[in-house]
Chains A and B, each alone.
Chain A
């Protein structure tokens, strides 16, 4: 491993990560080809990719980033957060507030300052927490800070008191549930149940134009790539080793002198920020953010994406997110009445027969093949080392 020092940081990151390399290549290719096919080829061409497909893939990518964020803390640090949807939604709300301010006087009541729902609720002036959201940079800062600060405060309290395991899971669920109820209240000033919608443009570009959509799509791809690299950097660094140690035996790690709570807190905050970014990219692509995103059930679903893909492998999380959501899209269209059976069945079967997710299945098959070949199988299997 010493020769790693001679290489560039990126190469070093991907050195032992064959699947990750493939994933990144697919992503880069997607970023080029999909917008190209959408914008260049005419609608009736064989190579045309519809805006529907592009926004759908864009949505999957946001979910993929969210899955990476969850896998980072669950797969590598053993923190099962049942409230990660909250960070996603907070990032989404930060973006939504910016987009709301961009509407300006084009709302139905033509008020330049206040969003429609505030005019409607007889609010006279903008509440203080809406200030600054007309600036893109400020909103983007908030996309990171709002989830980050919540995660910091929450994590600081929880990890310091050594709340672990199911207790932690349940209080994260309580957190997102409390936020759900709070955001439902119209008096909170976030649009109540209807949330924020009817966005017009972002940075001056219309959200309804295909060019903007393509740009958002490319931004999502980049976000997934960057999120992947950051997470990869963390898990391959010394810090990452400590995290895995905490996951496997927290008390021992503590006895060895590691300040377990700080490691956990750090990775929890990073993960929440990644989730926030995912939310921020999600909102302009689907066109609405509402308290439903805080629903505890959404957070559970995220866990399921990661589990289906393969806990503890970052690319597995991406695969899981895309796979489950594609299944959902397909089933709700094709078997509207039966899709819950299929989705439920998928989860049960995955946990029973694919304990390491789809990625693990792949590894299992490969392993069998290589045992059959009786070659130098052992060396290759250890390349999967980060799978627990």
Chain B
């Protein structure tokens, strides 16, 4: 029988030294490239949406390198897979920033992944571009939000339905998580401010991946059968959409009777449906593939070449990624460095062309000014743009329609330099600029 002895201890030491060598020692890499981190799920439930964005970033990097890179250096993408696992998002962010020492990260889709990444990126003072429409109520020094805030998607869509279609009764249907909750809360308060009665608003939440929509669609049908024009505002997320639309079609709910306007259904999601029964249902985005502009044609062409497929579609988060990337590249050139503080300062006020025409501008609150479009689903899976806002709409980090965030603003320039500044008490709550 062995006893405690030198033998075991030295073994333990060896094991330890090996661990340290394997994991802890980061090879000092000569900074001859600029590293671009890509933090999108390539497996798990979110892979369906996020893989495309990974490809978009890779395409943008390739194109930038063809133009000679940035600051005379080549760009080098670092792709990791957070596997739709939220804690893994935080871990991978730390890996990208500490181990790979990336200069910028393009990533995240869901709100929870962003919330998971946020503390890490703030602690290590990284820089991230978030390309998806989201619920707002947030502004971080280290994050630029290139997707739509609620006032850039939900409110214009409701305005359209109310004024152009004459909708009087509203179903707010969503998946039970923070984005639909916020959006519906904002919309509820907005609708009430426009004189819609409580009984004319029906709110419904379903779990992720909900697949049996029989009861809910039948309820919507009954709610819409009251003789008053009814519309569904859908914040149903991801995989739940296909069975939802299929059930709508099967129960004979057509867009003329009860139009559904969705905030999470774009060209890519439609490519998995048979869109024939869905013709006329609506979506609100800042971009549609059918938009007529030179930039868009070029972008689609490049995308088809990159993916080697003529069938791949483009969508709004891709445009947001495109804008984010172009803005970052411009800001790096302007700042002459990839240093986060300098790039952040250079970012504000930068303008790049939208793919739908016009210019997108980065505001002081790290959100964009963009146009809002409403499209109707066509048989070929594309959207026909039926309405758009007159000018650009600046993204609002803190909505005016919730009592607790009414007085908050975000302004990352001096003298405020704060993500949630209360204009009444003149104080900055929560996160402050670290530099």
Contacts and interface: CB of A to CB of B under 8 A. Distances in A.
- Indicate whether A and B are direct neighbours in the complex (CB within 8 Å): yes
Interface of A: 16, 18, 21-22, 25-26, 29-30, 33, 37, 44, 46-53, 55-57, 59, 105-110, 117, 119-122, 181, 184-186, 192-195, 197-199, 208, 286-288, 290, 292, 329, 332-333, 336-337, 339-340, 383
A55 B87 CA distance: 12
Q: Which 4 A-B residue pairings sit nearest by Cβ, starting from the closest?
A: A193-B177, A49-B24, A336-B81, A110-B429
B296 to A, nearest CB: 29
A107 B430 contact: yes
A287 B93 CA distance: 12
B91 A198 contact: no
Contact of A193 (B8, B112, B138): B112
A186 B11 CA distance: 51
B116 A287 contact: yes
B20 A198 contact: no
A186 B430 contact: no
B101 to A, nearest CB: 11
Given A194-B177, A208-B123, A56 B115 contact: no
Contacts of A47: 20
Q: What is the interface of chain A mostly: helix, strand, loop, or mixed?
A: helix
A287 B429 contact: no
A18 B115 contact: no
10 contacts: A56-B23, A120-B137, A122-B185, A185-B176, A197-B115, A198-B119, A288-B112, A332-B82, A336-B81, A340-B43
Contacts of A290: 86, 112
A120 B181 CA distance: 10
Contacts of A44: 28
A254 to B, nearest CB: 36
Contacts of A198: 115, 118-119
A109 B405 contact: yes
A184 B207 contact: yes
B119 A287 contact: yes
B80 interface: yes
A54 to B, nearest CB: 8
Contacts of A185: 176
Contacts of B15: 26
B27 to A, nearest CB: 11
Interface string B75-112: 00001111101111011101100110000000000011
B354 interface: no
B2 interface: yes
B42 interface: yes
Nearest to B118: A198
Contacts of B99: 50, 52
Given A56-B23, A108-B430, A29 B13 contact: yes
Contacts of B82: 332
A110 to B, nearest CB: 4
B420 interface: yes
B98 A51 contact: yes
B91 A286 contact: yes
B31 interface: no
Contact of B94 (A52, A107, A120): A52
B118 A50 contact: no
Contacts of B185: 122
A52 B97 CA distance: 9
B115 A37 contact: no
A188 B82 CA distance: 27
Given A44-B28, A197-B119, A292 B86 contact: yes
B386 interface: no
Interface residues of B, number: 65
Residue among B12, B83, B177 having the largest count of chain A Cβ atoms under 10 Å: B12
Nearest to B98: A52
A288 B116 contact: yes
Contacts of A184: 176-177, 207-208
A26 B12 contact: yes
A193 B208 contact: yes
Pick the most buried of B87, B90, B402: most chain A CB atoms within 10 A of its CB. Answer: B87
A199 B112 contact: no
Given A50-B26, A110-B422, 20 more contacts: A25-B9, A26-B12, A49-B23, A49-B24, A57-B19, A120-B402, A186-B176, A192-B176, A193-B111, A193-B112, A193-B177, A194-B111, A194-B178, A197-B119, A287-B119, A288-B116, A333-B92, A336-B79, A336-B80, A339-B83
Contact of B83 (A55, A120, A286, A332): A332
Contact of A29 (B12, B42, B88, B422): B12
Contacts of B16: 26, 29-30, 33
B20 A49 contact: yes
Contact of B429 (A109, A286, A333): A109
B98 A110 contact: no
Contact of A287 (B43, B90, B176): B90
A119 B116 CA distance: 20
A108 B429 contact: yes
Contacts of B90: 286-288
A22 B12 contact: yes
A288 B81 CA distance: 18
A110 B207 contact: no
A288 B86 contact: yes
B39 to A, nearest CB: 11
Contacts of B405: 109
A110 B430 contact: yes
B182 interface: yes
Contacts of B95: 52, 333
A179 to B, nearest CB: 13
Contacts of A29: 12-13, 16
Nearest to B138: A108
Contacts of B311: none
Given A25-B12, A339-B43, A332 B81 contact: yes
A290 B90 CA distance: 13
Contacts of A194: 111-112, 115, 177-178
Contacts of A286: 87, 90-91
B30 interface: no
A337 B176 contact: no
Contact of B91 (A46, A59, A105, A199): A59
A385 to B, nearest CB: 13
A194 B408 CA distance: 22
Contact of B116 (A50, A108, A197, A329): A197
A208 B2 CA distance: 43
A198 B42 CA distance: 25
A329 B23 CA distance: 11
A110 B402 CA distance: 15
